Amino acid sequence: MRNALRKTEADTNRTAGASTFRALLLTCILIAAVGCEQPSGTTASLQAPTSGGSLMQQADLIIRQALADPDPRLRANAIEVVEVTKQVRLMPKVQRLLADQSVPVRFLAILAVGDLQYALAKESIAQALNDQNENIRIAAAYAMTRFGHSEYVQVFRNAVASQDQTVRANAALLLGKTGDRSALRFLYWTLQRKDSADKVILQAAESIAMLGDERIYPKLWTRLISAYADDRVLGVRAMGALGTAEAKNALITMLDDAVLEVRLAAAEQLGKLNDRTGEPEVLDVFKKNLTAGQSSDDRERVNRLTALAIGEIGTDRLAKYLPQLLRDESKSVRLAAAKAVFRREMKN
């Protein structure tokens, strides 16, 4: 039975606004934590790719376009796609974004250089250790640890005590990314501080989950039973990061949530855990035309989440819908679909 957490659609009325489902931006909490500038200069839309070429070729073109998009949010998301899908051939373009005017874009470019161990950009990372912005400095320190300089871990470990809540949240993120369970005591300390902002608490909890500490499960469960749909999405993401059998069972219950975005987020996280239980929820988007009558913003959000879920679940029944998502009018949907193409390739 998956009805234990069934919610009413009325719950979603309290989640309207720009922050709704903020965790499901491709860069998730990190962009919200650093703070993303609005687009500057021209905002002319890039054209959706035609049906010509293979899915891989179309996906590659979409990512390249997004890396050069005037919107820093799309550039940031594109960097995350390059890193997650390990498209090293696109790293020269990411390297150029180390000098971007947007702090979140630079932050993510540094993380991509470190996570993919792109040695050609190591000198630029070393220079970023002295950047005026502390978020950039701790990102550079993290990247240096990925190049084998473990002494730099102390830089972002100390930063979880920063009075700047953004720095504190990003430091918690970096500690989770290290995979080093010795960071747990710093994360719990940050989590329990009375002066930690909500974004710090959310990121610390997720980072603890990333490190596989099952003690965080009750904290994550409280998010899943929240009256607010965006809280439930955050809980779903963190449960996916935890990835235990108990966490997987919790994700399965969320496939019965009344809010479509929550169901799609759960299906995606289950797919990351190699569980295809959420496939019917994703198929319903197309078979039942669940986006009919939605506003353009709601439809864009659903299509983006649908694409991400397809990439993680990866079945042929779902993949047949990727071509239409690659041609969606929304650049963010096309980018999510491009990510799905490469994620499916990695998993198959």
The confidence score (pLDDT) of residue 296 equals 96
Residue 148 has pLDDT above 60, yes or no: yes
- The pLDDT tens digits for 43-60 are 334 455 555 579 999 999
Residue 280, domain extent: 213-348
* 261 falls within a domain: yes
Please say whether the beta carbons of 271 and 305 come within 8 A. no
The confidence score (pLDDT) of residue 348 equals 82
Maximum distance among all Cα pairs of the chain, rounded to whole angstroms: 55
- The pLDDT tens digits for 254-291 are 999 999 999 999 999 999 999 999 999 999 999 999 99
- Amino acid in the structure at residue 246: E
* Least reliable range by pLDDT among 33-37, 135-139, 220-224, 232-236: 33-37
* 101 falls within a domain: no
* 307 falls within a domain: yes
* 68 falls within a domain: no
* 260 falls within a domain: yes
Number of structural domains found in the chain:
1
* 165 falls within a domain: no
Residue 41 has pLDDT above 80, yes or no: no
* 105 falls within a domain: no
Q: Is the pTM of this model over 0.85?
A: yes
CATH number at residue 230: 1.25.10.10
Q: Rounded mean pLDDT of 323-327?
A: 97
